[in-house]
């Protein structure tokens, strides 16, 4: 009889160890989002990722960086699509492409490394770079008195970059 209950006690003992305890929860997300400028964006972004309820502040920051990476890639695909259908936008779209290519291939990966290595200043600088690049994309169209086909994505990425910078500042 004792040998049948041994696995239960081993599992119970393991679950009591700190590394097995859930480090984050909805309260952590809500409380952290509450001190940012973008509460609704923060809540919706983090809660849409099921791992957010099982991580700490660093993990939440990495989730936000992953979303920035995805949105940057989405913007690049949108730029390619717009370039095919609107050849008159070639120059500003090329500028946007170069900016977002740097976001996806340099800024976000460097920010992830900074978070993982405990160098938040580097990561925060990358978030400022991303916000500037998102604004520059729309400015390229405005300088040419053209419509702004990427404003929605640019604004989202700008807001996500500032939101992520808030999280990085708390690390």
Mean pLDDT for the chain?
Answer: 89
pLDDT in the model for residue 9: 39
Which tens digit of pLDDT belongs to each residue from 28-66?
999 999 999 999 999 999 999 999 999 999 999 999 999
Q: Is the per-residue pLDDT at 161 higher than 50? A: yes
Q: Is the per-residue pLDDT at 100 higher than 50? A: yes
Where are the chain's structural domains? 55-170
Mean pLDDT over 5-14 rounds to 39
Residues 6+ apart with CB under 8 A from 6: none
pLDDT in the model for residue 24: 57
Kindly indicate the confidence band of residue 16, based on its pLDDT and cuts at 50, 70 and 90. Answer: very low
Residues 6+ apart with CB under 8 A from 27: none
Which tens digit of pLDDT belongs to each residue from 113-128?
999 999 999 999 999 9
Cβ atoms of 96 and 77 closer than 8 Å: no
Cβ atoms of 150 and 138 closer than 8 Å: yes
pLDDT in the model for residue 171: 93
The closest alpha carbon to 138, from 96, 75, 166, 167, belongs to 96
pLDDT in the model for residue 116: 97
pTM of the prediction? 0.84
CATH topology of domain 55-170: Butyryl-CoA Dehydrogenase, subunit A; domain 3 (1.20.140)
Q: How far is CA 93 from the centre of its chain?
A: 23
């Amino acid at each position: 009889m004792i040998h049948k209950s041994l696995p239960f006690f081993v599992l119970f003992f393991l679950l009591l160890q700190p590394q097995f305890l859930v480090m984050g929860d909805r309260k952590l997300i809500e409380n952290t989002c509450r001190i940012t400028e973008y509460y609704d964006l923060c809540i919706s972004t983090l809660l849409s990722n099921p791992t957010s309820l099982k991580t700490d502040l660093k993990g939440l920051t990495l989730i936000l960086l992953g979303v920035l990476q995805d949105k940057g890639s989405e913007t690049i695909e949108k730029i390619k699509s717009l370039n095919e259908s609107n050849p008159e936008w070639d120059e500003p779209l090329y500028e946007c492409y170069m900016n977002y290519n740097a976001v996806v291939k340099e800024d976000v990966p460097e920010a992830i490394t900074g978070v993982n290595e405990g160098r938040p200043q580097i990561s925060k600088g990358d978030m400022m770079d991303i916000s500037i690049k998102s604004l520059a994309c729309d400015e390229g169209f405005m300088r040419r008195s053209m419509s702004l086909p990427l404003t929605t994505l640019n604004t989202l990425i700008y807001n996500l970059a500032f939101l992520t910078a808030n999280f990085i500042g708390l690390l």
